[in-house]
Structure 1
Amino acid sequence: MGSKIANLLQTCIDKKSIIAGKVLHAYILRTNLLTDTFLCNRLIELYSKCNDQTSAYRTFDQTPQKDIYSWNAILSCHCKAGNLTFARQVFEKMPERNVVSWNNLISLMLKNGYQEKALDVYGLMVLEGFLPTHVTFASVLSACGSVLDLQLGKRCHGLAIKIGLDKNIFVCNGLLSVYAKCGVMREAAKVFGDIHEPNEVSFTTMMGGLGNIHGVFEALEMFRIMHRKRVRMDSVSLSAVLNVCAKGGEYGEFGCYEENDRFLYNVVLGEQVHGLSVKLGFECDLFLSNSLLDMYAKNGIMKSAETVFHNLGKVSVVSWNIMIAGYGQKGKSEKAVEVLQRMQYCGFEPDEVTYINMLAACVKCGDVEAARQMFDSMSCPSVISWNAIISVYSQTENHKEAIELFREMQSQTVKPDRTTVAIILGSCAGMDFLDGGKQVHAASIKAALHTDSYVASGLIGMYSKCGKINMAKCIFSYAPELDIVCWNSMIAGLTLNSLDKEAFMLFKQMRQGRMLPTEFSYATVLSCCAKLSSSFQGRQVHSQIVKDGYENDVFVGTALVGMYRKCGDIDGAQKYFDMMPVRNIVTWNEMIHGYAQNGRGDEAVRLYQDMIASGEKPDGITFIAVLTACSHSGLVDLGVRIFNSMQSNYGLEPKLDHYTCIIDCLSRAGRFHDAELLMNKMPYKDDPIVWEVLLSSCRVHGNISLAQQAAKELFRLDPESSVPYVLLANIYSSLGRWEDVRAVRELMSDKQIVKDPGYSWTEDREQDTSLFVG
């Protein structure tokens, strides 16, 4: 009879039929079967499954002979209801426990967001001699991934192998999650390769992990394999691949991928996934729809994003935020504001992400004032919002305002995080505000943030830029963990302080330590080679760049052009310039400057014209380069036309360097009258550099009267400089006026002016050439 009732109860449990279950409960009470612990356990399980916790607790209390299954049933009931306090009380009272008891408690702690406490409970479980099951590992590995505890994840991996659970799909997926979230994709790939039949969770986890470490193309290839193997796809896996496609758009923002097949592959595949999601009937899934929105928005395809948005059956705040971020990324702040107004009109309350996205949109358009108004409208900004507005001022080099905001943030008792500290250290560096940087350093130590690699990198940069390179070296040496950003900061700091040989050797040390260089690493070390005039070492670096696959990166390519042209190999610079798939304004400037410095003015001007024809807008540095080329090659009339076009065609106000270039151009050609007229009109007539340029040209043309006037101005403006004395003496000597030469030298002696010594530079090729590993 008891077994028949047990079977009926199991049917009620399976169908969640509480009415029939209560009828059976009444029958059990009437026939005095309550002494049957097995039936009581089934009743507790039924009430728990049907969310009737009160009946479950009453049944448990009325069970005369409770066994471990009774305790586990009521513990499971508390866990299902999310009652962590009661669950812990039950757990503590249990006369005996098994692995199910521990699994229930660990799982409940995870659901309540207590990942670290869940891991502590797991530690106690193992300490008491209980062997984990696949359920235990699934929960514990999930917690390890959440708190990025890679070491415990590896220990779990070892234990899973020891007890024979390393082939279980739940354990494997848990391990994949830990390794992917911790960025250890090599280990994740090993686990994935050992899975006999990876499921959609396995593929989804791998795609997410590869996308997070910028392995966008590899992640998309993983999706292709998943599709080819006909692994079932759900909305989560489709969302994962869309997120990867969106990341391709993020990287394209920097100009590296717009003309690249991989970028096009991202967009085309994103559109194909869109079609597949419709085919599989997921078009109403809000989570997947938001991923589609995000993919189109981050790739800048706002027309498609608008279409998806308008076709959404249900819209969330996340959907509106993605649209605002998309327009902000494209620099269309007016459209972002329009979306915000539509959002509020439709009854949606903006959240913090909304305001942060609006801040970013204002920044993209350079509208700092609008960004500040947006921030001031926030009633209680969190640390993320504070970081966003402080970053706005820091990025626009309004460092004083950034520091003032940081002080205001502290006065409002908002605790800064690692991002805040790094931003403020950047502002202190930008102002050469060493005392402020030291105060931030002290505050970071107090908040135990100084050991964070992100903060350490900021400290290294701040001390380096403030000229305290030994302090930067000290922080680098004692940092507990050095990531690539710290290495890059230290190398950049050394080269900033003219310690280029040390910087180069540190780069070599980084390579020997198997730390993979980034684009910034290569751009910095190429700058070292350029300053050392070492084309030999520069070519070694170039070879490694090709090997590591960075030759198409616009920043690395620009640094290569700069290195070759500064080392005098203008043809090498031109060869690489012609090969570059993408160029920016800095690349063009480097090449034009290269021609200018090597006396190839016609080619410099031709390249300048090619740049304008390509649609690239020249900046102030472009004009310095092309005017220098005109000056060195005697292209006077062309130089004057280009100088005049700065303001008339491009709205650029000429600076001191531009005036210096054009005055040098006129003076070299002997057109001193035009040069004097320009000097009388310009706002920099009291700058000694302009007079030095004029005096130097007077020597070439033997213009004694103007030379004496220029020298007189220089004696007044820069009395400690030896330059006017030397130039004037050289002019007199070239004309055979030796008495005047003697008078100038006596004047130098009387005023104790010493001529600066000259020097030469040669490249030593007999040095260590084994710079790279692997």
Structure 2
Amino acid sequence: MSRRSSKLALCNHGVNCPHTIYKSSILDGRCYYHSAFTLNNSSSSLQQPTTINQKQEGFNQIEFDCLYHQYTNISENTHEFQSIEHLESDKLKNYLFSTKLYAMQVKEITSQLEEAFNNRDYKKVVDLFTHYYGDFEVKSREAYQRRIIPLTQYSMAIDSLINLENYKGGELLCYKCLHDEGLTSNHTIFSKLLKIYILSEQQKKFDELVKQLMDNNNLSIYHFGIILQEYSSRSDIKNLERIYSKIKEPTDYHHSIMLSSFIKTDQGMDKVNYAFRKISKPTTYQYNLLLNYYISKGSDKVEEIHSKIKEPDTYTQNIILKHYLNIGSTHKVISLLQHAKFDIVAYNTVMNSYAKKGDIKIVEDIYKMIQKPSHQSYNIILTAYQNAGLFEKVEEFYKHIPLEIRNDYSFSNQMQRYKSEKERLDKVKTIYDTIPSPNVVHKNILMDALADNADQKQTEKVFNSIESPDKYSYQALLKAFLKNNDLERAENLLKEIQNPTPAMYNLILNTYKEMGKIEKMRSLLKSIKHPADSTLTICLSALPPNEALSLLQKMPKPNDIHIRALMNNFINTGDINMVVQIFEKLINPSQEAFAILLKALSKTIKPNNSENLPVMEHYYQQMPDKRHTLANNSMLTALASVGDYERIRVIISEMSEPNIYSYNSLLRAYKMNGMYAQAHELFNQMEQVDSVSFVLIVACYYLSSHAHQANMSSELIESYFNKITKPTSSAYNSLVEYYIKEDTKESIMKAIALHKKNPAPDQNSFVKLKQAKEALEKLEKETNPTSK
């Protein structure tokens, strides 16, 4: 039967059963008296015997008859017990109570439930409720006469089940209560049932119950609030607006839900303003929502909204402060800081913002406003002075930092900033040398910087100077071993460390991955009891694809990052079809998942095979946000393979941050279409170029039938080469080839000299070197025929 029906029906358990039931898929046509419903009955510490064992309990025949009479008739005539002199009334009452024979007053049962509920002993509440009503035979005098369980007791039991996350039991008890109380008289239970469906994520049941309540016009203002809040959390604007339109007299609470939902899903200024205007007395919270939305939209009414807030709170001031920072209004920032109360986080945020801009004067002015600077405040000042090269101020300011903060935190911030940049290791050392008493934090940062630069000897020296190395100390030492390819010592160190961190495992796993030591990776993974998500991600990206797929299937809760790692794994092996299959199984694919899919498909696009290009276009159009750089570049790569420069130019114009890979695609398309002049113009406009850009522009020069028009010369092509930050072997080879083609002794000598500078020559590099030497030998013979 459908739960949408609101009628009562006879129980189909048997013709003699007098009970009616609420038509429901939950009940399945059975009354609750005949259902298998129990509430933790098996775990209850309260026993429920159905008979009295006279001899075992030690009662005489008179006492037994009294007990039996009480048990079978639930009579109020207990004077028989009191008339027997030798019968101890307390003993009898205790016995009756423990065997569910004592006719408890409703208020006594309620009192016990309330005491347990107020003490948050939810299991006891459920056990007590089960003890009295688990078999649904009423044992209290009033309840027996009324044939119902009091609503307060139902409510406490249902709330306890919810707190115990026993949503199935709570749902069943709600329907039992609705059956006893009647369908339209118990709004409280309906609200609890709605809450159960929300917490147990049973959206279908929630939607069906809402429809039933709407159809029966059985919704209170409170119910509407619960339903609106649920649809708001789902960002289901369609249902949200439908329910909202049915409320006869919506309150400010309902309007507020609509306001926050319209803002969260960015429904536009009109809807946001409409919901806000409906609120009769906007609170500061609601004003804050509106203010933040106006700021995000770059509205010129931000300050107008801000002025209407009668009681701005800390969040209000932080929002408007952020706005002034974004628009660069320094005088308004300073004025607001002077006239409003802010916490230390706000001051530090503003200081950090101006420190990044190098505005030392403003940083100092804001620092003077702070009554109690934090360690972060001191570090922001030190960093600002350091970046500005004001080393004398660094030293002077350091003296004024409280000793307890100076020893624990100062300078670690700057060291951490510099240590990741290899060329700045000297700066880390310089800062470290200025610290009077370096602690383990400072030494760990120095070790990490040394390890990044593969300075194993110095890393070990610093490690040995630490009295009590922590996990970061061991991690830095482990990194130093791995950077120096000292795998044996790294593996031995990992065995010595108690409870290695995921970062330590990841360091070794990444090394195994780079070295192709898959068997070692398998062995290490098996030894980890509870691998972290990041650890599993590395393994998913490195193990053979089918093995990685098996690993993913065994994981209890794989996340989007894991699935993307597996997709990339299949890309690396060229199994594009598997990438597509994995993607199609995603319910709500992320932007990154779309990007990986497009990257995989782009590898199938060739000048003579572009049949997958429409497929790429299909997925590209499905993306919710087309500003993802990797996804755009994958489309550009595919379009460049077929020479579609016009479409490439359109996509680049719509990208928020096109990068060098984007422009290289356009260069490639120009080259394919013989548009060499446009290629040179684009190359000259590019702020950054790489080896690919260089190879493409040199190729354009060779392919041009009017090379002189390109105005290429050795000086120009060398200047192009010098624009590359880190030339790869392909760039070196291209320039060597250019020198050889010039076919002069000077240019060929340049080619041979350039080969020696190539940090990672490949097979093609040595071929070019051989050609250069042969060309040089030929020129020497032509110049001096008599020479050998």
TM-score by length of 2: 0.55
Which residue number in structure 2 is paired with residue 315 of structure 1?
A: 342
Contact 2:598 2:635 in 1 (8 A): no
Residue 441 of structure 2 is aligned with which of 376, 381, 387?
A: 376
Aligned AA (2:201): L
Contact 2:191 2:223 in 1 (8 A): yes
Contact 2:639 2:645 in 1 (8 A): yes
Residue 174 of structure 2 is aligned with which of 116, 126, 139?
A: 126
Residues 232-631 of structure 1 aligned to structure 2 (within 5 Å): 232-241=281-290, 266-269=296-299, 272=301, 275-283=304-312, 285-293=313-321, 303=330, 306=333, 310=337, 313-316=340-343, 319=346, 323=350, 346=372, 376=441, 434=518, 438=522, 442=526, 446-447=529-530, 455=533, 459=536, 462-463=538-539, 465-466=541-542, 468-477=544-553, 488-504=564-580, 506-507=582-583, 509-510=584-585, 515=588, 518=591, 520-522=593-595, 524-533=597-606, 534-546=609-621, 548=623, 550-551=625-626, 553-574=628-649, 576-577=651-652, 583-596=658-671, 600-612=675-687, 617-619=688-690, 621-630=692-701
TM-score by length of 1: 0.56
Residue 469 of structure 1, CA deviation? 0.8
SS of 1:528 mapped into structure 2 = helix
| C-alpha separation in 1, matches of 2:249 and 2:110 | 33
Residue 757 of structure 2 is aligned with which of 683, 688, 711?
A: 683
Aligned AA (2:740): S
| C-alpha separation in 1, matches of 2:506 and 2:237 | 27
SS of 1:536 mapped into structure 2 = coil
Query: Runs of 5+ in structure 2 lacking a partner?
Result: 1-103, 133-139, 144-148, 381-407, 433-437, 445-470, 782-788
SS of 1:473 mapped into structure 2 = helix
Q: How many residues align?
A: 573
Which residue number in structure 2 is paired with residue 253 of structure 1?
A: none
Q: Which has the larger radius of gyration?
A: 2
| C-alpha separation in 2, matches of 1:158 and 1:281 | 43
Distance 1:605 1:90, change over 3 A: closer
Residue 279 of structure 1, CA deviation? 0.5
Aligned AA (2:571): T
| C-alpha separation in 2, matches of 1:378 and 1:195 | 64
State the identity %: 13
Residue 201 of structure 2 is aligned with which of 150, 153, 156?
A: 150
| C-alpha separation in 2, matches of 1:273 and 1:323 | 20
Residue 567 of structure 1, CA deviation? 3.1
Contact 1:592 1:604 in 2 (8 A): yes
Which residue number in structure 2 is paired with residue 173 of structure 1?
A: 225
| C-alpha separation in 2, matches of 1:324 and 1:374 | 27
| C-alpha separation in 1, matches of 2:110 and 2:595 | 59
Contact 2:627 2:655 in 1 (8 A): yes
| C-alpha separation in 1, matches of 2:359 and 2:656 | 30
| C-alpha separation in 2, matches of 1:171 and 1:374 | 59
Which residue number in structure 2 is paired with residue 47 of structure 1?
A: none
Distance 1:279 1:620, change over 3 A: farther
Higher helix share: 1
Aligned AA (2:311): F
Which residue number in structure 1 is paired with residue 21 of structure 2?
A: none
SS of 1:462 mapped into structure 2 = helix
| C-alpha separation in 2, matches of 1:561 and 1:630 | 23
Residue 643 of structure 1, CA deviation? 3.5
Contact 1:488 1:520 in 2 (8 A): yes
RMSD of aligned Cα (Å)? 6.2
Contact 1:119 1:140 in 2 (8 A): no
Distance 1:657 1:529, change over 3 A: closer
Contact 1:666 1:674 in 2 (8 A): yes
Contact 2:601 2:612 in 1 (8 A): no
Residue 83 of structure 1, CA deviation? 5.3
Distance 1:567 1:160, change over 3 A: closer
| C-alpha separation in 2, matches of 1:362 and 1:195 | 60
| C-alpha separation in 2, matches of 1:604 and 1:593 | 8
Query: Runs of 5+ in structure 1 lacking a partner?
Result: 1-65, 246-264, 380-385, 450-454, 710-774
Residue 579 of structure 1, CA deviation? 5.8
Residue 565 of structure 1, CA deviation? 0.8
Q: Deviations over 1:632-688 (max 9, x none)?
A: 5456845643533665xx682544332122112222343564143243254228643
Residue 489 of structure 1, CA deviation? 4.0
Distance 1:477 1:88, change over 3 A: closer
Aligned AA (1:518): Q
